[in-house]
Amino acid sequence: MPSSIMPIRICDLRLTKGERAVLGGVDLTIDKSGITVIMGPNGAGKTLLLRCLHGLIRPDQGQITLGHLRVADSRDQQAMVFQQPVLLRRTALQNLAFAAPVIAKSRPQRLIEALESVHLADRAHQPARMLSGGEQQRLALARALLGKPALLLLDEATASLDPASVLVIESLVKAQSAQGTKVILVSHDQGQARRLADDVVFMSDGQVAEQSPANQFFASPRTPVAKAYLAGEILL
């Protein structure tokens, strides 16, 4: 698995919306493989940061490098799964084929295997948009993994799924990480973060408040804001 996108360096990333600095100078280096979970209260800037990393938003200021690559040059090594899956008005199988035309032509069996990996082989010929929310999200993950991305970004990808779908997605993400894909995942689910995270980045108010190994973060968060968040106190 290629690791040419490491380390990921984010330097003084700034983004203003209206009058508000929604990213207020994010500095972050991610240099370890495995799964990084980004946590933080609503509005902290987690989604915006992920979108900047994936090249969907251009920041007003600051730099992101992935290994020696800039974001635009790393796009074909990345995949992102969103909270609301964006699927074409085609069958489940056709959604995969459209995303990976070369594989569809040369090794079509891989598309079936991808559906099997998310327990959707029996839905191959159903319209993707008629699948349940959890099934759509599993399909979106299968599609994201087809290209064997070096970097997988997940933005609250399991937020509205039932426990079985959550487990399917978590086990696939873990397996993918074990194969060398760097995973960065945004989640409010502390159980999920504890199950998956190797390290945690905690964001607050458009900045990184804390970055720690997962065990350390959950045992003794360093910042009052992270302590309050983990204790379930409302932070507005």
Ligand X SMILES: Nc1ncnc2c1ncn2[C@@H]1O[C@H](COP(=O)(O)OP(=O)(O)OP(=O)(O)O)[C@@H](O)[C@H]1O
Q: Which residues bind ligand X (CB under 6 A)?
A: 17, 22, 40, 42-48
State the Cα–Cα distance between residues 228 and 198, nearest whole angstrom. Answer: 21
- Minimum Å gap between C-beta 167 and ligand X is 22
| Beta carbons of 150 and 111 less than 8 angstroms apart | no
| Beta carbons of 131 and 85 less than 8 angstroms apart | no
Nearer to ligand X by Cβ, of 53 and 120: the residue is: 53
Nearer to ligand X by Cβ, of 14 and 148: the residue is: 14
Nearer to ligand X by Cβ, of 95 and 210: the residue is: 210
- Minimum Å gap between C-beta 23 and ligand X is 8
Nearer to ligand X by Cβ, of 52 and 66: the residue is: 52
Nearer to ligand X by Cβ, of 44 and 145: the residue is: 44
Helix, strand and coil content of the chain, in percent to the nearest 5, comes to 40, 25, 35
- Minimum Å gap between C-beta 180 and ligand X is 27
Amino acid sitting at position 161: L
State the Cα–Cα distance between residues 119 and 168, nearest whole angstrom. Answer: 8
| 189 C-beta neighbours (distance < 10 Å), count | 17
**Nearest C-alpha neighbor of 168 from the set 93, 131, 117:** 117
Residues whose CB falls within 8 Å of the CB of residue 92, separated by 6 or more in sequence, listed in order: 115, 120, 123, 124, 125, 126, 128, 131, 139
- Minimum Å gap between C-beta 206 and ligand X is 7
- Minimum Å gap between C-beta 48 and ligand X is 4
Nearer to ligand X by Cβ, of 215 and 223: the residue is: 223
Q: Strand pairing of 151-155 and 78-81?
A: parallel
- Minimum Å gap between C-beta 131 and ligand X is 24
For residue 137, give the H/E element and its range. helix 133-146
